[in-house]
Chain A
Amino acid sequence: MAPRNRELTVRALARVEGEGRVDVTVREGRAERVELNIYEPPRFFESFLRGRHFLEPPDITSRICGICPVAYQVSACNAIEQACELELDDAVRDLRRLLYCGEWIASHVLHIYFLHAPDFLGLPDSIALARRDREAVERGLSLKKAGNAILDVIGGRPIHPVNVRIGGFHRMPTTAELIPLSDELCTALDHAVATVRWVSSFDFPDVELDHDLLALHDDSSYAIDDGEIWSSTGLRCTADEFPKHVVERQVPHSTALHAELDGRRYLTGPLARYSLKSSQLAGVSAQTAADAGLGAQCRNPYRSIVVRAVEVVYAVEEALRIIDRYERPAEPFTAGPPIRTVGHGVSEAPRGLLYHRYEFDPTRSIRAAIIIPPTSQNQAAIEHDLRRAVDGNLMPADDDLTTLCERTIRNYDPCISCATHFLTLTVDRR
């Protein structure tokens, strides 16, 4: 029988990016206190952006994350290009989306194969997974390599790409340089479909979330690199209006700010994107989603692994389409100084919506910067989900309940260093 009062502790949560802990106190069978404690020291990026030149944020903010640097570069570019009133060439936008597809593939595959899948297979890590199913791990590595190859060819290197700049790129690749990518991506498409098939065979606990969902929308495609902000409760707004709806606040137990959407907790990321825009998937990704048993919406956090795998299929297909129609533009970038004092930019990082805001002074330097990463926006939803997992839970062993808490968190692929940032779990059963 489960103890009425319990205290759980995970000293170091593995298989998430960054460091943090969870404190759970159960009193009389109810979760009295559930706190996701992000204790990584603050990283002060917004402070040291002050006084920098308006062209610098893509290089500086990409350092916030080694897994999703492109997201930081693109949101920064979108915000600053808005302030400079720059219109980008379609081919330049396309190439930026291609670069972003590379990051989605690399980041999602990392989480699916190396961080998340072991949870469903009762394995401690991917080394154990490689012993049991070498083929799966090799497939994962090959798929991640394909994502990295896109980043390398277009960005100049797979981590913290150097080729991105405000208004476009420093240098546009030639058509011939993209051809080897096409060959690699054709193989990757088979691997991506096999990945969906593999993860959809896992056992998923029956859980449904009721959070409000927030994602970018673009009429013409599944939004990645830019778009209008849509929510499942009917909000439609532009990046400029984001601060009117999303308010950040400090909580005592976390160095990452919590965020609320019009006063409510909400979720951003793969589940939100898929649930709001699954009708925009077409071709192989739509077919594999249907074959995997995903409906028009997916609100089961455990099934996020299937949604990520479907998004990998989409990113590979989209990358192939972009390479297919690519013609090298005459100019790699459009240039111009800030015209407006303030610029807002958004894009869909692998973990969810990433917002940047910059304010400029007359010398074209940054006066103020605000960066709102997806994991920080998702903290309240994660805590809510943890509370539900623990509340009235009859698992007799603390170890099992602790494992459940860790799984609950890993479902969200938190990037704590981005949020600043996560995880040791303490459960206090009184």
Chain B
Amino acid sequence: MGCGRCIDWCPVGIDITEEAARLVQLMPAYRPEDSNGERRRSAAAPCHLDHRHRLRFAELSTPVRFAAGEFVFRENEPATPCWLLGTGSVVLTTLVPGRGTVALETCTECKRRGLTCVMVADGTPCLGSVTHSGCGAQCPSVSRGCYGCFGPTTDPNLAAMSGWLRTCGMNEDAIGRIFATFNVAAYGSEGHDRGAPE
């Protein structure tokens, strides 16, 4: 919170959260007219922008159209564009054959980049195989281990990871610290077994 990343990204240099909060405060709920001409609250307008402000945002955008069933965004692509939904809906899924709906690990991004595994090759502690993907394996690309910015992946195998971290020379205090930093969620907060030292 308040780290300034949004203002850094924003092409117009404004704090979007502040502006959005103000718009919500000032504007009546977004109520598109239905086929009968009756005004109703739309379930698909969570930010409650009124028509005028939607148009204002739309003015600053480039129109795009996607066919039904088309992939709009794939994990690991740079998340640079924002979409203002005109009509239709977007479904969010991650499917891996044999594993169902899951989040991919940073480890898979490393493999795709063809980077040498820093943990296997150099004995550098790395959380890549229990961490949600999305960064593009930044840390292994500069010869350091992942420290878990994107948080734990679905069902992380912390017992196996803890064993590897011990092999890399980390003691229980250090393992406790690396699993609980300042990121999205603490590893093991869902009761995942961290495994006892042998």
A residues touching B (Cβ–Cβ < 8 Å)? 11-12, 14-15, 17-19, 40-41, 43, 48, 52-53, 56, 59-60, 63-67, 106, 110, 113-115, 125-127, 141, 156-157, 159-160, 162-163, 165, 169-171, 332, 415-418, 420-421
With beta carbons under 8 angstroms apart, the residue of A53, A56, A65 that contacts B4 is A65
Chain B residues with CB under 8 Å of A420's CB are 2
Do A170 and B142 touch (CB < 8 A)?
yes
Chain B residues with CB under 8 Å of A417's CB are 2-4
Chain B residues with CB under 8 Å of A41's CB are 1
Do B138 and A114 touch (CB < 8 A)?
no
Chain B residues with CB under 8 Å of A66's CB are 3-8
Do B138 and A165 touch (CB < 8 A)?
no
The reply on B12 being an interface residue by CB < 8 A is yes
Given A11-B22, A17-B4, A66-B7, 12 further pairs, Cβ under 8 A: A14-B15, A18-B15, A59-B147, A60-B182, A65-B4, A115-B13, A125-B12, A125-B13, A156-B138, A157-B135, A159-B5, A418-B4
Do A157 and B18 touch (CB < 8 A)?
no
With both beta carbons as reference points, the residue of chain A lying nearest to B59 in the complex is identified as: A127
Chain B residues with CB under 8 Å of A40's CB are 2
Closest Cβ of chain B to A429, distance in Å, is: 24
With beta carbons under 8 angstroms apart, the residue of A60, A63, A159 that contacts B8 is A159
Do A157 and B14 touch (CB < 8 A)?
no
Do B142 and A163 touch (CB < 8 A)?
yes
Do B2 and A163 touch (CB < 8 A)?
no
Closest Cβ of chain B to A397, distance in Å, is: 22
Closest Cβ of chain B to A170, distance in Å, is: 4
Chain A residues with CB under 8 Å of B138's CB are 156-157, 162
Do B22 and A53 touch (CB < 8 A)?
no
Closest Cβ of chain A to B20, distance in Å, is: 11
With both beta carbons as reference points, the residue of chain A lying nearest to B21 in the complex is identified as: A12
A57 to B182, CA, bound (A): 11
Chain B residues with CB under 8 Å of A14's CB are 14-15, 18-19
Do B147 and A63 touch (CB < 8 A)?
no
Give the size range of B's interface with the partner.
20 to 34
Do B142 and A171 touch (CB < 8 A)?
yes
The reply on B177 being an interface residue by CB < 8 A is yes
A340 to B143, CA, bound (A): 29
A237 to B141, CA, bound (A): 40
Do B147 and A421 touch (CB < 8 A)?
no
Chain B residues with CB under 8 Å of A416's CB are 2
With both beta carbons as reference points, the residue of chain B lying nearest to A158 in the complex is identified as: B8
Chain A residues with CB under 8 Å of B194's CB are none
Contacting A at CB under 8 A, from B7-39, are: 7-8, 10-15, 18-19, 21-22
The reply on B139 being an interface residue by CB < 8 A is yes
Chain B residues with CB under 8 Å of A163's CB are 142, 144
A59 to B14, CA, bound (A): 26
Do A162 and B144 touch (CB < 8 A)?
yes
A71 to B146, CA, bound (A): 22
Closest Cβ of chain A to B79, distance in Å, is: 13
Do A12 and B18 touch (CB < 8 A)?
yes
23 examples of A-B residue contacts, CB within 8 angstroms: A12-B21, A41-B1, A53-B177, A56-B181, A60-B182, A63-B182, A65-B4, A66-B4, A66-B8, A67-B7, A106-B8, A125-B14, A126-B13, A127-B60, A156-B139, A156-B141, A157-B135, A162-B142, A162-B144, A171-B142, A171-B144, A417-B2, A420-B2
List the 5 closest A-B pairs by CB distance, nearest first.
Answer: A114-B13, A66-B5, A417-B2, A66-B4, A170-B144
Chain A residues with CB under 8 Å of B12's CB are 114, 125-127
Chain A residues with CB under 8 Å of B13's CB are 15, 110, 113-115, 125-126
With both beta carbons as reference points, the residue of chain A lying nearest to B7 in the complex is identified as: A17
Chain A residues with CB under 8 Å of B144's CB are 162-163, 165, 170-171
Closest Cβ of chain B to A131, distance in Å, is: 11
Chain A residues with CB under 8 Å of B8's CB are 66-67, 106, 110, 159
Closest Cβ of chain B to A90, distance in Å, is: 21
A222 to B15, CA, bound (A): 32
With beta carbons under 8 angstroms apart, the residue of A11, A60, A65, A115 that contacts B181 is A60
A6 to B5, CA, bound (A): 36
Closest Cβ of chain B to A162, distance in Å, is: 5
With both beta carbons as reference points, the residue of chain A lying nearest to B56 in the complex is identified as: A127
Most buried by A among B1, B8, B18: B8
Chain B residues with CB under 8 Å of A125's CB are 12-14
Most buried by A among B3, B7, B182: B3
A68 to B182, CA, bound (A): 18
Q: Given A115-B13, A125-B13, A127-B12, are A18 and B4 neighbors across the interface (CB < 8 Å)?
A: yes
Do B142 and A156 touch (CB < 8 A)?
yes
A114 to B12, CA, bound (A): 6
Closest Cβ of chain A to B98, distance in Å, is: 32
The reply on B58 being an interface residue by CB < 8 A is no
A18 to B142, CA, bound (A): 31
With both beta carbons as reference points, the residue of chain B lying nearest to A118 in the complex is identified as: B13
Chain A residues with CB under 8 Å of B14's CB are 14-15, 125
Do B177 and A415 touch (CB < 8 A)?
no
Do B177 and A52 touch (CB < 8 A)?
yes
Closest Cβ of chain B to A348, distance in Å, is: 18
Chain A residues with CB under 8 Å of B6's CB are 66
A201 to B29, CA, bound (A): 44
With both beta carbons as reference points, the residue of chain B lying nearest to A130 in the complex is identified as: B12
Chain B residues with CB under 8 Å of A162's CB are 138-139, 142, 144
Q: Given A114-B12, A162-B144, are A65 and B3 neighbors across the interface (CB < 8 Å)?
A: yes
